[in-house]
Amino acid sequence: MIFRPLFACLALLALSAPAHAATLVPDLQHLDIVPMHSLPALGVQKSVDSAISKNNPLQFAISAPLPLTLDDGRWQKLDDGSWSWRTRVYSAGAQTLNLHFSKFDLPEGASLWLYDPSGAVIAGPYIHANELGDQQLWTSVINGETTIVELRVPAAVKDQVRLQLAEVNHGYRGFANDKAGTGSYKDSGSCEIDVACPAGQPYLAQARALARITINGTGLCSGQLINNVRQDNTPFFLTANHCGINSGNAGSVVFYWNYQNSSCGGNGIEPGYQTQSGGVWVAGDATSDFTLIKAAQMPSSSFNLFLSGWNASSNVPQSGGVVHHPKGDVTKVAVYSSAASSLDNQGLCTGQLPITGTCTSTRYVNVWRVSYSQGITEPGSSGSALYDQNQLIVGQLSGGSTSCSAGKNATDIYGRLNSAWTSKSASNAQLKANLDPDNTGTLTLGGKNLAGSGSTTPGSTSGSASSGGGGGGGALPVFTLAGLLILGLFRRLTSRRASSV
């Protein structure tokens, strides 16, 4: 995708909000001196699309090892005495790239950034506060075949940096459009409905709880922030168990917030979003197909997020809706206007032979079954919440057959919240022990706005530079053309290097 310089400038400005972390102004005129490391040719089999379903997470990327250390980049000393280290990663034909660092240990004052060669999309800063217990880091996606990795570090702590790249994930769907015009934006079914349309008006708050999430850098699902009885702003996040998040890989989760059109049908320009990396596994159970994690850091208050309420009673939902990210697309809504039905041990095929379609593996889930009067869900929607007539969560998407061509008799099924509430006795296999830790007996709870940290979470990014970044998390400042020209001058001045090694 080719971005005009104006959009690139807007993307940089959109990242200038955090007071605690300076915005990176990349030196795009000297990329030819930065070492390039290429992945081997990857045989991306898009023919697997015929086998995808809502019964499994949507694979959007394939992984390839690329072990790199600080020896595989180039150090340069900057005018202010600090140091910059850069390297480039390339994978032919990639729609996006995202990275897995097996060692991420930065001293205070150091920051890691990723950006594309045009400077249109910048991810970062990833700083010391982003370190998890295992010292691994999974980044958000950067559009295109090439990603530049840049480390900024004060001279006094340069020798304390520990950084090791392990894998690069070559994305082939589910995100911003590539040069051929294929990608997630507007790639979902023609009968999908934007949450900004009239059908989505009752769910605008719930849309602020929703996130598109990636797992292990290769899987794509949906999920949402969920309130707890203490109402203490813990950033609990509910999704489907079959999305594959567990105690070993929760740190690989990357959240993409506020990815939605601001008007019904959009204006033809892909909207921006915010991201943050890292989750902590809390609980999960297969029989109700739920997983509960926490965001590793408190999301920024500037994201304007919402903690959805819930209904854990056995009362049958009479009507309601779901907000979700089909095929990784912007937030959509589906609506049901007749009562759901409750089913136990509903079988879902999770593996099929490629030619005959014979089912090779099955999981069994206690579910709500619904038929929509408007909209559908698709692969990538897994984990999105089913809301009842009071806009309270009663389940999360587990599978189903709805599609634009399937007809009105098609249905979707959702792992029931009342089943997940006390599905197992262990606290890490039920919702009650975590959402009602004081055992108050509460079965219904309303939602609330998430009171964030008050500053942008380290590791956040404004994506989709074609829209200037930002997204629906909060209003961006309006910049004049003169302001953009001043930024360009500032960019040239700050890109001058005093010396290099």
Residue 242 annotated to the active site: yes
Only one residue has tokens 């010292």, namely 135
> Which amino acid belongs to residue 371?
S
Catalytic-labelled residue, pool 140, 277, 308, 382: 382
> What's the CA gap between 35 and 49, in Å, rounded?
35
> What's the CA gap between 410 and 54, in Å, rounded?
13
> What's the CA gap between 297 and 165, in Å, rounded?
22
Annotate 341-357 with b (16+ C-beta within 10 A) or e (fewer).
ebeeebebbeebeeeee
> What's the CA gap between 236 and 437, in Å, rounded?
13
Chain-centroid distance, C-alpha 40:
26
Task: Give which of 245, 242, 241, 238 is closest to 216, Cα–Cα.
Answer: 245
Catalytic-labelled residue, pool 116, 178, 194, 289: 289
> What's the CA gap between 443 and 423, in Å, rounded?
15
Only one residue has tokens 């997470």, namely 57
Residue 464 annotated to the active site: no
Catalytic-labelled residue, pool 118, 170, 188, 242: 242
> Which amino acid belongs to residue 186?
K
Angle between helices 481-494 and 5-14 (to 10 degrees): 80
> What's the CA gap between 371 and 410, in Å, rounded?
7
Backbone angles phi, psi at 420, to 5 degrees: -70, -20
Query: Radius of gyration (Cα) for the chain, nearest Å?
Result: 22
Residues in the chain: 501
Which residues are catalytic, by number? 242, 289, 382
